[in-house]
């Protein structure tokens, strides 16, 4: 793999290769853009390109020992910093450790590259410690932060980094990639791509077979015919509760369905509808249900999502939600 294989981000890649060729690398970068469009991969490619022993036009060769070690996660000068197991954020001790590490010259390569993907909420202490590093960057170091939104990054930190925006990928690009990777027919891949709004990561999640089956069952129960079958509602709720972290993605998928219903209810036209494969069911529902009721359903999904984040009983929360969404006679 090299910069050449990064999909759909020519501007970001060109900014980095130009900086490498002209030797004008920044000591800190902030890659911004939605999840699953290649920020983390590009950060690793940057680490490879600056440390490669046989670089070509600002890109790595992908075959030298340095490239191989970085790909295998074994290069002593390249580190990815994530929260410790069981923690939600990066702690001050981790930043202090990184600062000590950054003081030394690179072991094998030309640059030490530290990647903090996802800009996990840093504790205040950790953010301040990081800020000091950015104010007085040790030589031969490159720090790469990645974040969904620049506004989520502490302004004092963001202003000390060179920002490189990454754009959502085109629907066609995502669909082609997903179709090939998961061996899907093109319509299913296109649907996953549409639901994913240009994110390869989300498209990958939606393309999973069990996810598709759950979605089919949810839509079947949404339809007027499926409405009152309580035993099917409980059985679906049970399967959803077993989704673990994927449950959030399923909540998103539910919201997309009701969002489509809202679009259809407001102007009847199907432009902008994501779930094109269930247009008829959604149109029928949109005719039956007033907009306020659809809003209420969206609100209930949001509330259930928050409750589960706060450790509410998953099964009970899902049972209540699904009964409200699917089983209440209209
Ligand atoms: Zn190389």
CA distance 213 to 211: 5
CA of 70 to the centre of ligand 1 (A): 10
What are 205-224's pLDDT values in tens digits? 888 878 888 999 999 999 87
CA of 59 to the centre of ligand 1 (A): 8
CA of 64 to the centre of ligand 1 (A): 4
Work out the mean pLDDT of the chain and round it to a whole number.
90
Report which listed range, 68-77, 87-96, 181-190, is most confident.
68-77
Angle subtended at Cα 12 by Cα 89 and Cα 75, rounded to the nearest 5 degrees: 55
CA of 236 to the centre of ligand 1 (A): 50
CA of 24 to the centre of ligand 1 (A): 20
Q: Which candidate, 182, 190, 244, 240, places its Cα nearest to that of 208?
A: 182
Contacts of 329 (CB under 8 A, 6+ apart): 227, 228
Angle subtended at Cα 203 by Cα 61 and Cα 281, rounded to the nearest 5 degrees: 165
CA of 54 to the centre of ligand 1 (A): 5
Is the Cβ–Cβ distance between 127 and 147 less than 8 Å?
no
CA of 49 to the centre of ligand 1 (A): 7
Residue 299 confidence class, pLDDT cut points 50, 70, 90: very high
Is the Cβ–Cβ distance between 48 and 70 less than 8 Å?
yes
CA of 290 to the centre of ligand 1 (A): 60
pLDDT of res. 246? 82
Mean per-residue pLDDT, 101-108: 89
**Which domains, and CATH codes, for the chain?**
3-165 (3.40.50.300), 208-327 (1.20.272.10)
- Alpha-carbon Rg of the chain, whole angstroms? 23
Percentage of the chain beyond pLDDT 70 is 98
pLDDT of res. 328? 62
CA of 32 to the centre of ligand 1 (A): 26
Mean per-residue pLDDT, 22-49: 95
Residue 226 confidence class, pLDDT cut points 50, 70, 90: low
């Amino acid at each position: 793999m090299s910069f050449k294989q990064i999909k759909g981000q020519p501007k970001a890649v060109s900014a980095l290769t130009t900086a490498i060729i002209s030797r004008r690398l920044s000591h800190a970068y902030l890659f911004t853009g939605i999840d699953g469009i290649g920020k983390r991969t590009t950060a690793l490619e940057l680490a490879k390109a600056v440390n490669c022993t046989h670089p070509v036009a600002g890109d790595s060769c992908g075959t030298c020992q340095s490239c191989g070690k970085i790909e295998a996660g074994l290069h002593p000068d390249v580190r990815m910093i994530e929260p410790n197991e069981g923690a939600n954020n990066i702690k001050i001790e981790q930043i202090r450790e990184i600062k000590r590490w950054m003081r030394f010259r690179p072991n094998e390569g030309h640059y030490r590259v530290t990647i903090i993907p996802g800009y996990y909420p840093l504790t205040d202490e950790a953010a301040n410690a990081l800020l000091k590093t950015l104010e007085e960057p040790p030589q031969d170091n490159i720090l790469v932060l990645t974040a969904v939104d620049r506004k989520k990054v502490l302004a004092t930190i963001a202003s000390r980094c060179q920002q490189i925006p990454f754009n959502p990928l085109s629907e066609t690009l995502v669909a082609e990639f997903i179709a090939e990777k998961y061996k899907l027919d093109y319509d299913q891949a296109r649907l996953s791509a549409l639901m994913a709004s240009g994110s390869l990561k989300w498209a990958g999640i939606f393309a999973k077979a069990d996810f598709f089956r759950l979605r089919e069952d949810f839509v079947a129960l949404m339809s007027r015919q499926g409405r009152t079958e309580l035993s099917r509602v409980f059985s679906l709720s049970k399967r959803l509760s077993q989704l673990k972290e994927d449950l959030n993605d399923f909540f998103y998928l539910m919201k997309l369905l009701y969002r489509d219903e809202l679009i259809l209810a407001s102007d009847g036209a199907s432009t902008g509808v994501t779930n094109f494969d269930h247009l008829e069911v959604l149109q029928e529902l949109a005719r039956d249900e007033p907009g306020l009721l659809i809003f209420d359903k969206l609100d209930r999904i949001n509330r259930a999502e928050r409750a589960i984040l706060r450790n509410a009983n998953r099964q009970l929360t899902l049972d209540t939600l699904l009964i409200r969404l699917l089983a209440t006679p209209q």
